[in-house]
Amino acid sequence: MMKVAVIGANGKIGQHLVEQMQHAKTHEVIAVVRKEAQQKALQERGLTAKLADLEGPVSELKSLLKDVDAVVFTAGSGGNTGDDKTLLVDLDGAVKTIEAAEASGVKRFVMVSAWQSNNRENWAEDLRPYYAAKHYADRELMRSKLSWTIVRPGALTDEEATGKVVVGDSLAPGTVPREDVASVLRRCLDENGTEFRAFDLMAGESEVEQSLQSMKEMA
Amino acid sequence: MMKVAVIGANGKIGQHLVEQMQHAKTHEVIAVVRKEAQQKALQERGLTAKLADLEGPVSELKSLLKDVDAVVFTAGSGGNTGDDKTLLVDLDGAVKTIEAAEASGVKRFVMVSAWQSNNRENWAEDLRPYYAAKHYADRELMRSKLSWTIVRPGALTDEEATGKVVVGDSLAPGTVPREDVASVLRRCLDENGTEFRAFDLMAGESEVEQSLQSMKEMA
């Protein structure tokens, strides 16, 4: 059993992930959020919830991650703020969390990225600044001393989970339910062979577990 | 004599640099600009000028840098555009230039950064997104296989050059004329001991050459 900090636990993927983890009881989950009201709501549901400001200093994030074994980073500034926040949260906030994780002795780091963030040629024109932020956060993570996994989902939907996905180095564009993304993130924590891998993720034909295992065979 | 590409040759620092290099004749200069009118104006002054779009593909930048020995990167999106351009030009444009330089066999890369871009604690509140972009571009450069130098000037002024500066790992905030920054960039191309160094730069008491040599002794 690991102590897992979910950064961005109030996000749409984060909410699914925290709920799944609370239900599964495989690991101890710490839900990390930005606002006190969010923290209170999570605590009322019996979860351990902590506050963090991704625009604050690394030292605060380091304290937050004390005794934590694994981090899932699913925070983002979202579509309603400007690209100043894209730079300060999606990029710098992510990298500060990586630095804090390294400094705190965290072993495992699972990053929610975006389809083909590794490949500038596939960045959608109107989302290029967002992709650039994710791209450089991912590059910093890959160079860290953490056991990283980078999950690059396609267009996110609120459809119900199917439990069926496809993963790969370079998938065609598509969609994937947030609830299924959460299942993949959770499974990455337990599946040997997902460390030091970055992959696209879409709705597909295979069970999550089977998809991640097939990736191991591709390695 | 090296063939030196100045990226951002129409910028305020770039203009000084290109003029100084044309006058000094120590190296062959290629002035790289974004607009045809800028290119034409430079050509009319007897300079070799080329067009480049830092938001375009790496392949185009790679062609541009064919047979080039050194790059000085002094391009920036400037204060009149949004942080989307900060991400796409100051960060991604810089890193694409670094990648193109590596792929083209360029040896030397001198980057114009900003005072204390290496140290989040010193980032001015209203310029944090800009600093973040410079910070990550610098990090990518330091990890490249190029012989890099990162110059981090303080607040830039249009005052006349004094020829006197101070450099250091962590200087107090201050100002420096753009014309003096250009002299430092030019001198970095020739001064052994500036490779693999990043330093703050302000107006000061010592000649440019002497300042850069003193840094070598500090190493």
For the stretch B141-163, pLDDT in tens is 999 999 999 999 999 999 999 99
Cβ–Cβ contact B114 with A under 8 A = no
Report the distance separating Cα A17 and Cα A60, nearest Å.
Answer: 24
Residue ranges of chain B with per-residue pLDDT less than 50: none
> Which residue among B109, B130, B148, B199 is the active-site one?
B130
Q: Give B77's contacts in chain A (Cβ within 8 Å).
A: none
Are B151 and B109 a contacting pair, CB within 8 Å? no
Choose the closest CB to B132 out of A57, A91, A128: A91
Predicted pLDDT at A217: 75
ipTM for the complex shown: 0.93
Sign of CA pseudo-dihedral A186, A191, A196, A201: negative
Report the distance separating Cα A140 and Cα B146, nearest Å.
Answer: 18
- Using pLDDT thresholds of 50, 70 and 90, give the confidence band for residue A100: very high
Top residue of A54, A58, A84 to mutate, by most chain B CBs within 10 Å, is A84
Q: Give A132's contacts in chain B (Cβ within 8 Å).
A: 87-88, 91-92
Q: 3-state class of A115 per DSSP?
A: coil
Q: Do B92 and A143 touch (CB under 8 A)?
A: no
Q: In terms of DSSP H, where are the helices of B45-162?
A: 58-64, 83-85, 92-104, 128-142
Residue of A nearest to B139 (CA): A140
Top residue of A87, A128, A143 to mutate, by most chain B CBs within 10 Å, is A87
Cβ–Cβ contact A187 with B under 8 A = no
Report the distance separating Cα A25 and Cα B165, nearest Å.
Answer: 61
pLDDT in tens, A69-88: 999 999 999 888 999 999 99
Q: Do B136 and A95 touch (CB under 8 A)?
A: yes
Cβ count near B70 (within 10 Å): 21
The rounded mean pLDDT for chain A is 96
Predicted pLDDT at A174: 98
- What are the distances in angstroms from CA B119 to CA A127, B74, B86, B128, B200? 28, 20, 19, 11, 11
pTM of the model: 0.95
- What are the distances in angstroms from CA B40 to CA B8, B31, B137? 15, 11, 30
Domain ranges of chain B: 3-218
User: Active site includes A136?
Assistant: no
Nearest to B40 by CA among B31, B32, B49: B49
Contacts of A175 (CB under 8 A, 6+ apart): A154, A155, A156, A157, A202, A203
From the CA of A153, how many Å to the nearest CA of chain B? 22
Q: Give me the percent of chain A exceeding a pLDDT of 70.
A: 99
Report the distance separating Cα A148 and Cα A111, nearest Å.
Answer: 8
CATH code given to domain B3-218: 3.40.50.720
From the CA of B176, how many Å to the nearest CA of chain A? 27
pLDDT in tens, B155-200: 999 999 999 999 999 999 999 999 999 999 999 999 889 999 999 9
Report the distance separating Cα B6 and Cα B32, nearest Å.
Answer: 6
Report the distance separating Cα B97 and Cα B102, nearest Å.
Answer: 9
Q: In terms of DSSP H, where are the helices of chain B?
A: 12-24, 36-44, 58-64, 83-85, 92-104, 128-142, 178-188, 208-218
Q: Considering only residues 48 to 87 of chain B, which have any Cβ-Cβ distance to chain A shorter than 8 Å? A: 57-58, 82-84, 86-87
